[in-house]
Structure 1
Amino acid sequence: MRTDSQKIVPLKTALSGGKNHRERLPVPLVDLRDRSSRQLRHLLQALFDKADDALFQMADRAGCNTEQNACFEAMRDLRTKRRGIERSFLQKVFDSFSNLYRLEDEAAPSPISESTQLASLTHKERQQEQIDIDAMIERFMQRTPLNLQHLDMRLNILLGKAQNRTGNPIGPRWLIQHFLNTCQEQGIDPAIKPTILKLFERHVLTNIDELYGEANKLLSSNGLLPELQALQSQRRPAHPEDKTSLDQAFYIRNRSATENTEDVFEKLQTLLVLSRSDRLLATQPDHRPIPPGDLLQLLTRQQQHRIFRRISLQERVERLIRRLGKKIGNAWQLGRNERDTVILCSLLFESMEADRNLSEFGRHLLARLQIPLLKATLLDRTLFNRANHPTRRLINEIASATLGMNDLKTAQRDAVYQKIDQALAKLADNFTNDLSIFTELLTDLQAFSTEERRRSSLLEQRMRDTEEGRAKAEIARQEVERILNERLFGKILPEVVVQLLQEVWSKVLLLAFLKYGSQSIQWQDALRTMDDLLWSIAPNKSPEARQQLLELAPQLLKDLREGLASIAFDAFATTDFFAQLEQLQLHALQQTLQLLDSEEAAIEPFPLFEVTERIFLPMPGDTCNQKQEIELPNSHAAILEIDNLHPGVWVEFIGDQEHRLRCKLAAIIKPAAKYIFVNRNGIKVLEKTRTGLALDFHHKAVRQLDDSPLFDRAVKSLKQRFENTLEHN
């Protein structure tokens, strides 16, 4: 028989539902938990199947027997603890789902706090562990963030206020931390933890997006934001009946925009209010806020008009709101967040417009992105936080592709300009509320730009090879000039020999120097042949020298013939020269005999020539009257500035307002101290000496262009503008 006391239930137990209050999950969450557990088990099994191979490779690369044995021991340890790790990991996933519904007086755990409870980890180890986790999550978000974002939105709607900041139970941060904690609890060797963590990223996180896709389908089939699936799968014009879903999606995206990232947009919004620069678009007490869905549709219609006039984004939106209000008879205005978004986007474009590094091509094209960027920010303001956001990257790609464009008048014939123009036209015609169109256009434009850069780099490489060849030829010319002046300057010699050495044999020397180098046998042979020629035509006073000349003559003629043939010298001219050389050598022998018999000098049969001017060998492209440049010391500020330049930087040469040349430094030819500039097609457009370029920088006739991401520069400029306003006020 039951007593009354047995019917009494403690009030706390009744309110909390007993110990099982965490398990009262909605049916969609129960299904999600079970499906997730099954898929995660399969992914973990793939991880452990590959762990043996990874540890075996570590053992094979080990530097000593101790390290190798440690790897084998860890391999055996991991095999025995595999089942325990799987069970513990999946149990933690179950607990994460249960912890989604907690009473307000209970403290919800977080990945960070759970990690710090492991006393065996030092502060430095915990810090390094957190850095590794953040890096893995960042890599995951760069690959496939969309399914995870949609899953977060649906969970937020499903949980409502019951979610006590525990986050997505199968989000990447939770899964990584569950795995690390499980390995710690199971006593896995810390030495192999980095390897196991890499395997977790490779076999679990890389394939987890499929799980998120299935989770989205499950929750969508239960009526949770089914419109997100439509947004993801196809691009269609917005209709009036879609207004409610657009409003809801807009609200959810921006509510969860900054859960895990620094909110740059919110900081800018705060600075905007503090700087009192939001007086435009002021609110009116008797006006109602326009619904976000209506605003997006209004902007879409305006975007499709393709207005190319440079008009302030604020002014455009003001006109749209006034025109719409008159048309439907409602007094509408922008809500606070929408108003701030319009102002910030407008100011952002003003910063881009004022950027001196942006070309006129870039300004002309980016002006057409005002409405699309505003819509993208209204839909997802995380683009201010994420450097890899497709909308942001598309803006940067357009700015980068147009950085080296010079003449706006030739735009219609420019392939890159036409490609960007087509992309922006497609964006204006098709962008309603699906941000994936930015990814599509970005991928297409990047592929086109990559191919253009490949062609340009091939031309640049050919140009560099040509210029380096010219520099080597210049060094060879200077060396041959030095050799000829050492042997001929100030001497009195037969004119035919001087002419041959200066105009013909100099080419033999140049060829030997360029082809074989100054330390080669061929170079030494060419010098020896020239020296033997000069010695053979000089008067010799001893009988030994006469005998030596008779022995030398055949080999000298052979060496001269081979040298002249190497430069394809005219055969008839060669024969004529050898005939004259024979007469010169015979005359030298006669002089020797006469000097032995008599002190009387013989009459020269050939005209003599005194080399009174230093020999100069002209090269192709040389000008007779080269302007002597002013020499600057190496400590000069302009010299130091150009010494910091490196190939690949863009510069702008400033003639006047109408004549400016943008080009890229393609090569620095150090032996010749030359700087070679090309246009964006890889064609050489300018050549400067080191001193000449330094003087241009000194006189402000050239400036270096900043090719860093335009969006980042604009945000930085906007922050600085607000801060300066606050400081002034």
Structure 2
Amino acid sequence: MTAAGKKAESSNAARLLILQNMVPLATNLVSSQLEGFSTRLADELFKLSDQSIRPDEAKISFEAHQLVMRNSTAFYRLVAGQINAALSKEVSVFNTKKRTRRDDAQLDTTAQTYEQMEAKILLRNASQALEVLNAEPLVLLNTLIGRILNRMPIDVSQNPFRPEIFVDAVHRAWIELDPDPATHLLVLRLLQPSIFLQLTPILEEINEELMARGIHPESEIASESSHAGATYLPAQKFFSLDPYLQDKLRRVFSGQIELAHSDPHFDLHSLAQVSDTLTNQLDLEADEEDADKASVDQHFFADLLEMQKRIAQQETTHAHYESRLHKVLHAGSAQKLSVVERNTIELLARIFDYIFADQSLGDDIKCMVGQLQIPIVRVALLDRDFFFRENHPARILLDMLGNSGILLDQEASESDPLLGLIGDVVERVQTEFDEQIDLFSDVVSDLESYLKDEEQRAQEAISQPVQTALSEEKMRIAREFAEHDVAIRVETGEVAGFLEVFLQEQWIRILTIAHSVKDEKPHALENALKTMDDLIWSLKPKNSPEERKELISKLPSMLTLLNAWLNAIRWDEPDRVLFFSKLAERHAAMARAPLELSPRRQLEIAVNIAQRASNRRLDRFAQEKVVQEDDEAMKQVAALETGMWLDFNEEDGQVTRFKLAWISPKRSSFIFANRLGDQAFSISAADLEARYRSGTATTLLANSLIDRALTYALRDLAI
């Protein structure tokens, strides 16, 4: 066996040992819960026997209840043994290759009895319910196991500690305890989350133990740096390679086809057409390698390392960018590379061609990316997951560099400390990278730390504008409530014309204040609304002596409250005198009116009120009809999220770039700021919609740079 083979075997054994060590831990944690689980199951069986309307089910349930109560110790032993055996088996056969989907196996109905089919469906349903309940620790465990295997997070169907294993083991333990088939499906139906073992503490303990052994979730990098997870980077539109493109990638790395190698001025539109007959396995090329392949790799890697050092020493310019990787394939040591290795280099060459042709990237960023070509080739040859994992650290670094082009101030980029840090990162990769891919995780962490600190300072810088905007929104919402309070009263048609003007111009101001302080002073709003209602009532026709007497008795207190509120808003204009003069005239006219209004007069008044109410409703209906329906601009504003970057075109033709730093709770106000937060401004939703309609505001959606490059490089490759 070669040294590389021994190393791989040793590595696989070490990984398997880590997982095997988790089995007794899980079994012990299960054992500590068995008494409680057994009690819950027995209670549920007794309840079912008591409530079931089917005599046979009631009898079977009661007998099962008694069986658990009489044989609790044996049940504990059987459950612990079955779970230990099931977990040990799962870990022993566990590998990194794609597994058959468990759901497909469970739904296989060939040569099965009805009871077997029902058992599979019940097992699946119980497992899925537990997966939902334990989603958070399961996802973390999927990630940690993927980290152990040096690959992306595994699927829950591949997790040897998934809920399905526990449910199936408990069911098998019951079958062993009670051979009577009549109870088997009955008990399986009862294995619901409220009765079953509590898996969350078990999974959490496994996670903690793995992390204590130095295995940490790589998602800490990916979730914040890859897709819209970090507010200090441009918000990214959801993007992933579609299944056709993923299949193309697998074919490229199957070793069965070879990409056409192109000249230094490669045209991305002309990719070779290939046959569509072949497998998507990624490790087929191993059997085709020559006996002296290891020495060829060493020679080629030595040439790459030498080229990397030369590029690091060269002075870079912004004159012209082209991929250096096309030349790599012409090196003498590259002639004996496998098809897969040549495909890897060719695909990377096309990716870098796309990056250098991307007009959205500035020269500074292209210069930095260009210096990473050789290190990225070496990474991809060592770890082909670079092409398949969006959270691969080297891929994250390239994406961060691409997104940094949006953050950098184009006018002053030479003095921008972020650009200086990126330069340091690139230099470190060039000079230090050998074969330890963890170096990329380190430099990504450094870059992220800087951006997080910068983001925190920016958030502190906009704290005052945020407080101002919150106060303004609170008053704006209070006024909307106030306008509604007045509108529903005016719409009845019973409000006199001069009073309607007064309510809309002055009382709305009072109600706005009352609504704004209703949490601290709820009685203020009640008082303001009652005063308004009393005022409106006081001007309605009084058809009986009793109503007139009531008016006279209420007027003094009502007028006192009315003046107090008007003093609060400091309404001292001459219009106030005119208003009270008209009010006094109306009240006096009511007091001098005939004792009884004739039926005819009462009918005329009612008809006039109904007519005014109808006109009000028609006016409101007409206004609602002319309200602009949701257009594209409104949809764009509605889709905005904190962290997105926008370009604003000013009247002088200058384009300024700002980040959406804050959105008010009601989305009526938006605060934008530059990267450092020292230039901030607030804009209303309506004004922002108008900017979108006029084309003077545009959203910058930053898809992953490598995703875009891969899509473009593979788009003409036939499946």
* 3-state SS, counterpart of residue 521 of structure 1: helix
3-state DSSP class of the match of 2:444? helix
Question: Do the aligned partners of residues 378 and 644 (structure 1) sit closer, same or farther apart at CA in structure 2, a change above 3 Å counting?
Answer: same
| CA contact 2:663–2:671 (8 Å) conserved in 1 | yes
- 1:191-270 to 2 correspondence within 5 Å? 207=209, 267-268=251-252
Relative to structure 1, the CA distance from residue 521 to residue 148 in structure 2 (aligned partners, 3 Å threshold; closer, same or farther) is closer
Cα separation, 2, equivalents of 1:343 and 1:34: 34
Please tell me whether the aligned partners of residues 653 and 702 of structure 1 are also in contact (alpha carbons under 8 angstroms): yes
Alpha-carbon separation, structure 2, partners of 1:477 and 1:203: 55
The amino acid that maps onto 1:678 is: F
Partner AA of 1:45 in structure 2: P
Report the equivalent of 2:445.
443
Matches of 2:10 and 2:374, distance apart in 1: 41
User: Quick one: distance in 1 between partners of 2:44 and 2:567?
Assistant: 67
In structure 2, do the counterparts of structure 1 residues 687 and 52 end up closer, same or farther at CA, with 3 Å as the change threshold?
Answer: same
CA shift in 2, pair 1:333/1:678, >3 Å: same
- Checking the alignment, whether the CA contact within 8 Å between 2:643 and 2:660 is kept in structure 1 is yes
Distance 1:473 1:91 in 2: 65
For residues 519 and 83 of structure 1, the distance between their equivalents in structure 2, rounded to whole angstroms, comes to: 69
Q: Residue 678 of structure 1 aligns with which residue?
A: 672
Using a 3 Å threshold, how does the CA distance of structure 1 residues 268 and 351 change in structure 2: closer, same or farther? farther
Whole-angstrom CA distance in 2 between matches of 1:368 and 1:686: 41
Deviation at 1:54, TM superposition (A): 4.1
Q: Deviation of residue 275 (structure 1)?
A: 6.0
Deviations 1:437-488 (CA, angstroms, capped at 9, x unpaired): 1111223333444555566678596576356325315525745886899999
Residue 51 of structure 1 corresponds to which residue in structure 2?
30
Shift of 1:343: 2.8
Give the percent of matched residue pairs that are identical in Structure 1 and Structure 2.
Answer: 15
Match of 1:79 in 2: 77
The 1:563–1:650 alpha-carbon spacing in structure 2 relative to 1, beyond 3 Å, is: same
Q: How does 1:199-598 map to 2 (within 5 A)?
A: 207=209, 267-268=251-252, 276-279=260-263, 291-303=300-312, 305=314, 307=316, 309=318, 311-312=320-321, 314-315=323-324, 318=327, 335-336=336-337, 339-353=342-356, 363=366, 365-400=368-403, 403=406, 405=407, 407-411=409-413, 417=419, 419-450=421-452, 459=462, 462=467, 465-466=470-471, 468-469=473-474, 471-475=476-480, 478=483, 491=498, 507-516=509-518, 520-527=525-532, 555-556=557-558, 558-560=560-562, 562-564=564-566, 566-567=568-569, 569=570
SS in 2 for 1:678: strand
Task: Find the residue that maps to 2:639 and give its secondary structure.
Answer: coil
Query: Is 1:709 matched with 2:704?
Result: yes
From the superposition, tell whether residues 263 and 664 of structure 1 become closer, same or farther in structure 2 (CA, over 3 Å).
same
Normalised to the residue count of structure 2, the TM-score between the two structures is 0.55
Of 691, 705, 718, the residue aligned with 2:713 is 718
1:1-12 pair list within 5 angstroms: none
Q: Indicate how the Cα distance of structure 1 residues 211 and 265 shifts in structure 2: closer, same or farther if over 3 A, else same.
A: farther
CA RMSD of aligned residues (A): 6.7
Give 1:628-643 correspondences, 5 Å limit: 634=629, 638=632, 641-642=635-636
* CA deviation vs aligned residue, 1:229-268 (integer Å, no higher than 9, x gap): xxxxxxxxxxxxxxxxxxxxxxxxxxxxxxxxx8975534
Instruction: Give the whole-Å Cα distance in 1 for the aligned partners of 2:89 and 2:503.
Output: 92
Q: Residues of 2 paired with 1:529 and 1:182: CA distance?
A: 69
Q: Per-residue CA shift, 1:529-586, capped at 9, x if unaligned?
A: 7669999xx9x9x99999989866753564245325544x49xx69x99999999999
The 3 A distance-change label for structure 1 pair 271 and 277 is farther
Alignment match, 1:143 = 144
- Whether the aligned pair in 1 keeps the contact of 2:408 and 2:418 (CA below 8 Å) is no
Worse-matched range after superposition: 393-402 or 70-79? 70-79
Alpha carbons of structure 1 residues 484 and 368: separation in structure 2 relative to 1, 3 Å: farther
Give the SS at the match of 1:291.
helix
Q: Distance in 1 between matches of 2:147 and 2:548?
A: 95
| Match in the other structure for 1:157 | none
User: What is the rounded CA distance, in whole Å, between the counterparts of 1:409 and 1:715 in structure 2?
Assistant: 31
Shift of 1:436: 0.8
Change (3 A) 1:391 1:63: farther
Shift of 1:336: 3.8
Counterpart residue identity of residue 142, structure 1:
T
In structure 1, the gaps of 5 or more residues are 1-25, 101-108, 151-171, 214-261, 283-287, 326-330, 597-627
Q: In the TM superposition, what is the alpha-carbon distance from 1:65 to its structure 2 partner?
A: 1.6
Following the alignment from structure 1 to structure 2, what is the Cα–Cα distance between the partners of residues 295 and 689? 56
Letter of the 1:522 counterpart: N
Q: In the TM superposition, what is the alpha-carbon distance from 1:66 to its structure 2 partner?
A: 1.7
Aligned to 1:645: 639
Pick aligned residue for 1:659 from 651, 655, 663: 655
Q: Secondary structure at the match of 1:432?
A: coil
Q: Relative to 1, partners in 2 of residues 1:302 and 1:265: Cα closer, same or farther, differing over 3 Å?
A: farther
Distance 2:124 2:587 in 1: 93
Please say if residues 482 and 512 of structure 2, whose CA atoms lie closer than 8 Å, have aligned partners that are also in contact: yes
Structure 2 spans left out of the alignment, 5+ residues = 48-64, 152-156, 176-187, 216-245, 267-295, 595-622
How far apart, in 1, do the equivalents of 2:588 and 2:433 lie?
99
Structure 2 vs 1, CA of residues 59 and 487 (structure 1 numbering), >3 Å: closer, same or farther? Answer: same
Q: Which letter maps to 1:309?
A: H
Q: Is the alpha carbon distance of 1:317 and 1:649 closer, same or farther for their aligned partners in structure 2, counting shifts above 3 Å?
A: same
- 1:74 CA drift (Å): 8.3
Separation in structure 2 between the aligned mates of residue 81 and residue 588 of structure 1, nearest angstrom: 88
Structure 1 residues 199-208 or 42-51, which shifts more? 199-208
Q: Counterparts of 2:79 and 2:576 in 1: how far apart (Å)?
A: 94
Shift of 1:515: 3.2
Deviation at 1:51, TM superposition (A): 0.3
CA distance in 2, matches of 1:417, 1:61: 62
CA offsets per residue over residues 164-191 of structure 1, 9 Å max, x none?
xxxxxxxx979779x9699869933595
Based on CA coordinates, which of the two structures has the bigger radius of gyration?
Answer: 1
- Structure 1 CA distance, aligned partners of 2:657 and 2:256? 37
1:159 corresponds to: none
Compute the displacement of 1:386 (Å): 2.2
Question: Displacement, 1:373?
Answer: 2.1
Q: Output the amino acid matched with 1:645.
A: A
Cα distance in 1, alignment partners of residues 447 and 309 from structure 2 = 23
Distance 1:440 1:145, change over 3 A: farther
Task: Report the CA distance shift for 1:432/1:528 in structure 2 as closer, same or farther (over 3 A).
Answer: same
Q: Distance in 2 between matches of 1:635 and 1:580?
A: 44
Give the Cα separation in 2 of the matches to 1:647 and 1:531.
Answer: 45
The 2-side partners of 1:586 and 1:43 are apart by 88
1:634 match: secondary structure:
coil
In structure 2, what is the equivalent of residue 188 of structure 1? 173
| 2-structure distance, mates of 1:89, 1:476 | 61
Q: In the TM superposition, what is the alpha-carbon distance from 1:299 to its structure 2 partner?
A: 1.2
What's the CA shift string for 1:205-241, capped at 9, x where partnerless?
A: 875799999xxxxxxxxxxxxxxxxxxxxxxxxxxxx
Larger RCO, structures 1/2 (Cα 8 Å, 6+ apart): 2
